[in-house]
Amino acid sequence: MAQAKSAGALVDPAFESSVVAKLRSVLGDSSAMTPLHAPEFSGNEWELVKDCLDSGWVSSVGTYVDRFEREIAALSGAEFGIAVVNGTAALHVALIVAGVQPDDEVIVPTLTFVATANAVRHAGAVPHFVDSSPETLGMDPAALAQHLSTIAERKDGRVINRDTGRPIAAVVPMHTFGHPVDMDPLLALADEWRLPVVEDATESLGSHYKGRPCGGLGAVGTLSFNGNKILTTGGGGAIVTNDPEIARRAKHLTTTAKTPHRWAFLHDEVAYNYRMPNINAALGCAQLSQLGERIARKRHLARQYIEAFDGIDGISAFREPSYARSNYWLNTLLLDTIMIDHRDPLLAALNDANLMCRPVWTLMHRLEMFADCPRAPLKVAENLESRIINVPSSAALGTSGEGVTA
């Protein structure tokens, strides 16, 4: 038996090979690399993209953009959708239309993809990092409440960080790997402090929180359609909201702030050329018709992982929170804390076995450009960082069947 250096406990030296065997029992044997999350094109993508090419409507104006926006809004439980070039652009503009101003602070999880924090910087604001919940992997409302009670005060109609003197302007929960944050207490807390919630739903298209779709739960939400998402437009994102003024301004800012005129080029503020091209939206419209089946297959794959690792010492498959129905965008294995020294050897063994597996992102407060940003105690996120391994999660790896139950 070998000893885990950080925990001082005995572990099985054959642990890595046993985990590889468990994944193979789900995925089958193959000499080819199994990607972490591959795109899938099994509908009428060719037909709709060819229609764009034949018609010449390939840029930022066209019927597919309008259709895609309507369908994405409906799927998110929102009235309005604005299609943009990627999820980071969606977050950037969503923060602006939510009222974030330069030098404000924005509450974001430290356990997130870098785009969440980058978008805050793009808006001229400062990320303020908070902890995660072990039940959701996303922002912890109770920990945030405790943190705000310690560092925040109301002054002149704004929430001020007493430690920095800067206003706190918004809260950005991110539904990690498609698992919904516990939004009701978070929304209540944000309402108590009069802070808008910008919902980072870039990984959670098709996920539901207490029966309500992710994306439309806050003042404004954002989605991503990158090539590794549950459906793709090649690149792309969207802003969704129920607020007509937020929607109007988001559309204006993402289309260079051009004012209507038959021929003149008149712009009334500095803005962004973020509009999604029609050809990308055509791809998205074809993908949308497959979303329900893909989620069913991904949930079936998640069930297989959960069953394969049930009762295995040292590691388990993460399952959705009890109140949620997740799209299981990325399936996650969680090492027991006593096994954290196995993370990197396990990643090496899995990738050597042609199973593309990855750790969670480096926590935002550990990145050099964000090291000086304000932060809450981050003990849970730091623990999760050492334990998370994402495993192959493409919808094509699953078969239709009964989904995961809470």
Distance CA 131, CA 153 (A): 20
Containing 388, the helix (H) or strand (E) segment is strand 388-391
pLDDT the model gives residue 7? 42
pTM, two decimals, is 0.94
Query: Mean pLDDT per segment of 10 residues, for the chain of length 406 residues?
Result: 39 83 93 94 93 85 93 98 98 98 98 98 98 98 98 96 98 98 98 98 98 97 96 96 98 95 94 96 96 96 97 95 97 96 95 97 98 98 98 89 54
Give CA angle at 159 (154, 163), nearest 5°. Answer: 95
Residue 168: phi, psi to the nearest 5? -100, 120
pLDDT the model gives residue 9? 45
> What domains can be seen in the chain, in order of their start residue?
2-39+292-397 (3.90.1150.10), 45-288 (3.40.640.10)
At 44, which amino acid appears?
N
pLDDT the model gives residue 402? 55
What DSSP assignment string belongs to 176-242? Answer: GGGPPP-HHHHHHHHHHHT--BEEE-TT-TT-EETTEETTSSSSEEEEE--TTSSS--SS-EEEEES
The β-bridge relationship of strands 331-335 and 315-317 is antiparallel
* Surface-to-core class of residue 139, CB atoms within 10 Å of its CB (0-12 exposed, 13-18 middle, 19+ buried): buried
Residue 220, CA distances (Å) to 243, 292, 311 in order? 8, 24, 41
pLDDT the model gives residue 39? 94
